[in-house]
Amino acid sequence: MKTSVQRVSTGENWPPEEGEVVTFKSSTGQKSGVLKEVRWGLVWRDFILEDGRVIPEHRVVGCPESPTWRSADEVSQEEREACEVRDVRGAAIRDEMHHAEDEEGHQERMARDQ
């Protein structure tokens, strides 16, 4: 990771480099994270953050107006299968996180009610 915090700039410097702090739009507002890797998804680039979150390129603040998207015929069967495996793993991780949050909330309510 870079020692100084670097902000994403657009244009010729797109996509951002590993170690840069990227800001992205989420359903709960803007959030930030440190970029670990940029890789192609099935259609657009995915920004993988150091904490494991995967952000589609078009949700990253500063993304060019017309992000580069792939044609479906450019995606190999191996890439499709690898993406499916990542999606299943990601869903399992999200389920575990939600379960842990639910359990934690339940325990807090039980302690409060006693």
Instruction: Describe the strand order of the beta sheet including 45-49 as a list of residue ranges.
Output: 21-26, 29-40, 45-49, 54-56
Shared domain for 15 and 58, answered yes or no, is yes
Distances (CA, A) of 49 to 3, 19, 46, 57, 114: 16, 9, 10, 12, 41
Domain that holds residue 43: 1-70
46 and 85 share a domain?
no
Beta bridge partners of 49: 35
CATH code at position 55: 2.30.30
Specify the number of domains making up the chain.
2
pLDDT band, very low/low/confident/very high, at 69 (cuts 50, 70, 90): confident
Q: Answer yes or no: do 6 and 31 share one domain.
A: yes
Alpha-carbon distance 61 to 17, whole Å? 14
Do 90 and 36 belong together in one domain?
Answer: no
pTM: 0.59
pLDDT per residue as tens digits for the range 74-98: 888 998 888 788 778 777 777 777 7
Interval 25-68: pLDDT, tens:
999 999 999 999 999 888 889 999 999 999 999 999 999 887 67
Instruction: Tell whether 44 and 86 lie within a shared domain.
Output: no
At residue 99, the pLDDT reads 73
